[in-house]
């Protein structure tokens, strides 16, 4: 029979024993001998993590890993892909400039494009511009939405006479090809954007104040400060007859957008002046802060 060493436990005054086999090959659990683990070995053991916390940590680590992968993709593959796309559209722009240049060789160059179109079997409407034909030829097989987006970028570049060496930078400054397609670079604005642009200019003016018993009946105590649209008729003497008051955000925005369209230049001048004033005020504040910092040491 194997030797078994018995040690006295110092934990309590009662006789607590722990048994350790002298031969490590003996499975003490199998023979039913209780084993007490010393406090020193227990302190070095790995802490038991609840299963719910372990799952949460695993998901957090996965999300962190995905975020890092996304950053690598944006800085690498995605960035290079955009650079290649911008480069292709730039070459389309350079080609367009060559095919519209007033030189002796332009006609022959246009003939070369027509030959390519014939060989590919492309069918274009008579109204299709040269820029649209070039984009279709270069990006053959691309869906219509993307073709339209790239064509918009090309038209903007032509309209603004971009320099080829600044092509990619200009697209990036506008927020990418999609932002240009949505009209941000063309100066196109949605009705809501027009309404917001006109709102400050309209509300800063007071043409007249109207009041009557009939108008008072249309007033709503909860509507103080809200905006409304009036349906009016101009009379021969220059006065206006108010027929109805329309309380609708849609109607107000439509009216403001219409005002923007008919007072576009005036609004642009006012906005530009506001920006200048803000810049001057900001500059003066910076100077004042710098002077105060010198005084305070």
pLDDT, tens only, 249-287? 888 888 887 887 777 767 766 666 665 566 666 666 777
- pLDDT confidence bin for 5, thresholds 50/70/90: very low
Are 76 and 174 in the same domain? yes
Are 248 and 236 in contact by the 8 Å Cβ rule? The answer is no
Largest CA distance in the chain: 127
Task: Give me the domain span that covers residue 9.
Answer: 4-39
Distance between CA atoms of 200 and 194, rounded to whole angstroms?
Answer: 11
Is 241 part of a structural domain of the chain?
Answer: yes
Are 101 and 140 in the same domain? yes
Are 8 and 89 in the same domain? no
Above 60 in pLDDT, residue 117? yes
Is 84 part of a structural domain of the chain?
Answer: yes
Is 47 part of a structural domain of the chain?
Answer: no
Distance between CA atoms of 202 and 252, rounded to whole angstroms?
Answer: 11
Alpha helices by DSSP H, 161-263? 167-173, 177-181, 191-203, 213-218, 249-262
Above 80 in pLDDT, residue 167? yes
Are 72 and 162 in the same domain? yes
Are 159 and 250 in the same domain? no
Is 54 part of a structural domain of the chain?
Answer: no
- As a whole number, the mean pLDDT across the chain is 76
Is 246 part of a structural domain of the chain?
Answer: yes
Cα torsion 163, 164, 167, 168: sign? negative
Are 74 and 172 in the same domain? yes
Are 197 and 261 in the same domain? yes
Is 211 part of a structural domain of the chain?
Answer: yes
Above 50 in pLDDT, residue 37? no
Are 70 and 177 in the same domain? yes
Mean pLDDT computed over 65-77:
76
Are 195 and 136 in the same domain? no
Mean pLDDT computed over 180-198:
67
**Residue-level pLDDT at 179:** 81
Q: Which residue has the higher pLDDT, 295 or 112?
A: 112
Q: Which residue has the higher pLDDT, 23 or 82?
A: 82
Is 16 part of a structural domain of the chain?
Answer: yes
Mean pLDDT computed over 28-53:
52
**Least confidently predicted of 28-32, 173-177, 200-204:** 28-32
Are 174 and 199 in the same domain? no
At 164, phi and psi to the nearest 5? -55, -35
pTM beyond cutoff 0.75: no
Distance between CA atoms of 204 and 201, rounded to whole angstroms?
Answer: 5
Is 53 part of a structural domain of the chain?
Answer: no
Are 32 and 116 in the same domain? no
**Residue-level pLDDT at 15:** 42
Number of domains in the chain: 3
Above 50 in pLDDT, residue 289? yes
- pLDDT confidence bin for 23, thresholds 50/70/90: very low
The gap between the terminal CA atoms of the chain, to the nearest Å, is 89
Distance between CA atoms of 151 and 46, rounded to whole angstroms?
Answer: 62
Residue 135's CB is within 10 A of a number of other CB atoms, namely 26
Above 70 in pLDDT, residue 147? yes
**Least confidently predicted of 14-23, 114-123, 166-175:** 14-23
Are 172 and 202 in the same domain? no
**Residue-level pLDDT at 183:** 66
Residue 187 DSSP code? T
At 6, phi and psi to the nearest 5? -110, 125
Alpha helices by DSSP H, the chain? 28-31, 39-43, 51-73, 79-99, 106-120, 130-138, 144-160, 167-173, 177-181, 191-203, 213-218, 249-262, 264-296
């Amino acid at each position: 029979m194997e030797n078994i060493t018995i040690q006295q436990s110092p934990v309590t005054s009662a006789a607590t024993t722990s048994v350790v086999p002298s031969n490590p090959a003996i499975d003490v659990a199998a023979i039913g001998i209780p084993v007490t683990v010393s406090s020193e070995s227990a302190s070095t053991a790995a802490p038991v993590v609840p299963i719910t916390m372990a799952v949460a940590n695993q998901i957090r680590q996965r999300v962190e890993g995905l975020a890092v992968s996304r950053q690598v993709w944006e800085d690498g593959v995605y960035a290079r892909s955009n650079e290649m796309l911008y480069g292709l559209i730039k070459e389309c722009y350079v080609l367009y400039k060559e095919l519209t240049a007033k030189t002796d060789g332009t006609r022959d160059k246009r003939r070369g494009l027509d030959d390519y179109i014939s060989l590919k079997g492309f069918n274009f409407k008579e109204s299709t511009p040269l820029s649209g034909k070039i984009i279709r030829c270069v990006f053959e097989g691309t869906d219509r939405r993307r073709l339209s987006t790239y064509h918009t970028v090309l038209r903007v570049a032509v309209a603004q006479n971009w320099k080829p060496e600044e092509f990619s930078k200009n697209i990036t400054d506008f927020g990418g090809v999609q932002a240009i397609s949505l009209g941000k670079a063309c100066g196109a604005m949605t009705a809501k954007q027009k309404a917001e642009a006109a709102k400050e200019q309209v509300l800063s003016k007071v043409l007249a104040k109207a009041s009557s018993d009939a108008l008072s009946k249309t007033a709503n105590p909860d509507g103080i400060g809200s905006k409304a649209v009036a349906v009016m008729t101009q009379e021969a003497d220059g006065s206006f007859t108010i027929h109805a008051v329309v309380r609708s955000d849609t109607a107000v925005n439509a009216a403001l957008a219409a005002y923007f369209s008919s007072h576009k230049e005036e609004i642009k001048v006012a906005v530009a002046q506001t920006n200048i004033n803000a810049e001057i005020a900001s500059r003066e504040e910076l100077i004042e802060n710098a002077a105060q910092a010198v005084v305070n040491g």
